[in-house]
Structure 1
Amino acid sequence: MNSATATFAACLRELDVPGQVVEFSTEVPTAAAAAEQLGCPVGAIANSLVFTVDDEPLLVVASGAHRVDTRHVARVLGVGRIRRASPEFVQEATGQPVGGVGPVGHPEPIRTVVDRTLADHPVVWAGAGSKHAMFPTTFDELVRITNGLPMEVVKP
C-alpha cells in the first residue's frame, strides 16, 4: 500500500468506516474505469469533484452517472458562480490528486454536497486518495463522514 493510500485508510479507521481500501494495478481516474474494474454500475461510483465558490473549495460527491449542474447547485446553496477547480487548487485543498480525490482525508474540512441518487445503490465506491485506490461505502455513511448536505446535483 503506498503512503497516500495508507494515510487515507488510517483516516477511514478514525472515522469508523468499516470498508477496506482496495488498490488496483492500473489507474481508475474516471467513473467508467472504476466501474469496469469493480464490475458495478457507473452510477454506484461516488466521484469527489472539487469546485470553487468565491475562492473557497466546494466538494460535490456525485454519482458517476451524473454531470453536476453547477447552476442548479449554486441556486440551492444560495451562492454565486460555482467553477471547476484547477488541478493545483484541488491538490492544495484536498492533498490528493485529481482522479483520486476521496471524500475525506483533506488538510481542512471542505463544504460538501452529496448526490442523493447515490442512495439508490446499497454499496457505492469512492476514491481513496490516489488514482489507484477506492473504498466501499454507503450514501448514509458518505453524508456522515463528510458532514455533507444531501441534495440533487442535477436539475430535477
Structure 2
Amino acid sequence: MREIFGCVGGKNNYDKATDECSLGRLRDRLWTHESAYENNPRKLLSFVYSSRMGNGDERSEEGYKFRGKGIIQLTGKNNYRRYTEIHNHANPNDVKDFIEAPDLIITNVKYGVESGFVYWAMVNANIMADADNSERLTVAINGGMNGYDERIECLEKLKHHMGI
C-alpha cells in the first residue's frame, strides 16, 4: 500500500529496502496509522481516493465505492456520473444509475466493457494512441505514471504479435 499509494511521484519513488520515499511521502498516514489501512481495502481506498475525482471525504467511503472497476478501471464519482449520463443517453431502453449501483460495472460484463470504451472516448484516447504517445495516454487514463513500465512491456508484446 505504501509503494502504490504512499509516495510523491508514484511507486518508482518507493524504496523497499528503507520503506521510504525518495521524493517524500504523499500519504504519511500509511506509515503512522498502518494498522488502520493494512489488509483493509475499504478503509485504504476510502482514504487514498477521498476528496478527489468528485468523491466525498474518507468517512463517506466513496473512494472505495467508486474505486477502479471495468476493463479500463473507471475510477472516481465524477467518472461514474459521466458514464451514467453517456450510457443512458445512448441506451434509453436500458437506463442505469452507476452512482447508485457502481458494482454493475463488475457484475455485468456489458457494462464493464462499455465503461472502458466510454472512458476511452471521454479522454480522447484515440488521438494519443494514434500518435503512439504512451506517456500522455497513460496520464490521461491513469492520472499518473503508475504501472507505466508494465504497460509498455505489454504494449510491445502486443505490437510484436500484431506485426506493428
Richer in helix (by share):
2
Mark yes or no: TM-score above 0.5. no
Which has more radius of gyration? 2
Q: What is the TM-score normalised by the length of structure 2?
A: 0.27
